[in-house]
Amino acid sequence: MSNRIEPIRSVKGTRDLLPPDTSLWQRVEAEAHRIFAAYHYGEIRTPILEETALFARGVGAETDIVTKEMYTFLDHEDSLTLRPEATASVVRAYIEHSLYNLGGVQKLYYIGPMFRRERPQKGRYRQFYQIGAEVLGSQNPLVDVEVIEMLVLFLERVGIREYQLLVNSVGCSTCRPAYLEALRVALQDVKGAMCVDCQRRADTNPLRVLDCKVEADQAIIEKLPKIIDHLDPECRQHFDRVSSELQARGLVYHVTPRLVRGLDYYTRTTFEITSGALGAQNALVGGGRYDGLSEMLGGPSTPGIGFSIGQDRLILAVQAAAVLQPGNPLAAYVVWMGEPTLAPAARLVRELRAQGLTVGIDYDSMKIKKAMGIANKLQARFAIIIGEGELASGKYQVKNMATSEQTELAPELIGEFVRDKLRITN
Ligand code: HAM
């Protein structure tokens, strides 16, 4: 009888991110930090755990996220939830720390894990990652456009070329009730032919009918009244300004009347970016304006707009575009031969690493053939060989692994030589 212990596996819908893929995640994050800094956003890090009420109030009690997808548990008498998204958390923090007192517009961004109990498939996970940005304190449509411009610049910088920007307006609390009424009336005639979820939504939250994915419902949804035809003059003007400014900045977009988004806090501008490279889960970015959210969470009336990029999906698209390559290749691998050479070899490795070069060494003694085999396997650009002869002469062998060309150099010159050959400038 075997006593083998069953290995424990990661939880369904979660996954380990491993090298070399994690190097792509880091590069994408580094680019996000760079671009967001250029647009003068500051990073915010909010807790992963929040009170459940934050999402019930912020995201909306009738949404799929809140009704079906949240990881919620009782911590003694408090109901807590692993955040399914971060916009509500950012607005909570904005209120909690009175950031409105700092004056002007607050521009914040975040990178981190979110949790939704969805059915896992490629591009859809229960723990997934978002890179998001939020602007609080301006209603100006030019802010909407600048947010989208920054997003597009970021996507292009990480090598995403094939994507579609979908834009809509969902109006505001003044004009939406009349539209919802028109939608509700229209739904009364057709809801019987729709899926059970839509039959329920037709009464509880008719807007949600518009983002139903059931194939058979699509033709019916196509004929329902469009919110874009029911905007009040202010919302219409706002939308027209967003549209004309997107055009003026050369940002290609498609007006998509069905784009109402799956969260209740949206007002006016909503947008998504989809990518054909992603297959079924093609939504890469979701965003929009949420001018009433701060008030809904007990804060002052503060307009806001932002977006979240699905980082898992972004990585899939980056891999498909194959512009950024994963990995952190070795600039050099140091080969030492004989105990007396170990200390000088270790010293050289430390000096090269301190100069920012990626350098490898093994501490087990081995024959030169085996060590060179490792250098080859690790695809090191240079092998630096230190034997007792090299130690005596004070010059080490620096071998270019691609050309087999060998150069003798004093240790203090090796860093500059390698950097020069690899054209590393900083
Ligand atoms: P969202 O549309 O729910 O919006 O999510 C944004 C993006 O997160 C999606 O487009 C998708 O790429 C990614 N995503 C969502 N669920 C999953 C999942 N289960 N697995 C993998 N990726 C996923 C929001 O979260 C809003 N907070 C966006 C926002 C910010 N609106 C204003 N500011």
Same domain, 316 and 357: no
Task: From the CA of 289, give the closest atom in ligand 1.
Answer: 32
Task: Report pLDDT digits (tens) over 336-366.
Answer: 999 999 999 999 999 999 999 999 999 999 9
Who contacts 386 (Cβ-Cβ below 8 Å, separation ≥6)? Answer: 334, 335, 336, 337, 341, 344, 345, 348, 396, 397
Please say if the pLDDT value at position 40 is more than 90: yes
Please check whether residue 94 is in contact with residue 136, taking contact to mean a CB–CB distance below 8 angstroms.
yes
267-274: strand order across its sheet: 42-43, 106-115, 127-136, 304-310, 283-289, 267-274, 164-169, 254-255
Which of 290, 321, 352 finishes a domain? Answer: 321
Residue 193 is assigned to a structural domain of this protein: no
Q: For residue 53, give the H/E element and its range.
A: helix 52-55
Task: From the CA of 309, give the closest atom in ligand 1.
Answer: 7
- For ligand 1, whether the C-beta of 58 sits within 6 Å is no
Same domain, 273 and 298: yes
Please say if the pLDDT value at position 426 is more than 60: no
Who contacts 54 (Cβ-Cβ below 8 Å, separation ≥6)? Answer: 81, 88, 89, 92, 297
**Percent of the chain at pLDDT exceeding 70:** 99
Please say if the pLDDT value at position 1 is more than 70: no
Give the CATH number of the domain where residue 262 resides: 3.30.930.10
Task: Report pLDDT digits (tens) over 216-249.
Answer: 999 999 999 999 999 999 999 999 999 999 999 9
**If you take atom 16 of ligand 1, which residue's CA is the nearest one?**
124
- For ligand 1, whether the C-beta of 306 sits within 6 Å is yes
Predicted local confidence at residue 407, as pLDDT? 97
Q: Which domain holds residue 248?
A: 21-175+231-321
Predicted local confidence at residue 277, as pLDDT? 86
Same domain, 100 and 144: yes
Q: How far is the CA of 263 from the centre of ligand 1 (A)?
A: 10
Q: How far is the CA of 420 from the centre of ligand 1 (A)?
A: 43
Who contacts 380 (Cβ-Cβ below 8 Å, separation ≥6)? Answer: 329, 330, 331, 332, 333, 360, 401
- For ligand 1, whether the C-beta of 283 sits within 6 Å is yes
Average pLDDT taken over every residue of the chain: 95
DSSP lists the bridge partners of residue 287 as 271, 307
Task: Report pLDDT digits (tens) over 45-77.
Answer: 999 999 999 999 999 988 889 999 999 999 999
Q: How far is the CA of 123 from the centre of ligand 1 (A)?
A: 11
Distance of alpha carbon 297 from alpha carbon 264, whole angstroms:
13
Please choose, from the candidates 308, 307, 303, 241, the residue with its C-alpha nearest in 3D space to the C-alpha of residue 106.
Answer: 303
Give the pTM.
Answer: 0.91
Predicted local confidence at residue 260, as pLDDT? 87
Mutate to test the pocket of ligand 1, among 28, 85, 168 (most ligand atoms within 8 A of CB): 85
Residue 170 is assigned to a structural domain of this protein: yes
Predicted local confidence at residue 2, as pLDDT? 66
**If you take atom 30 of ligand 1, which residue's CA is the nearest one?**
307
Mean pLDDT, range 68-97, rounded to an integer? 98
Give the CATH number of the domain where residue 365 resides: 3.40.50.800
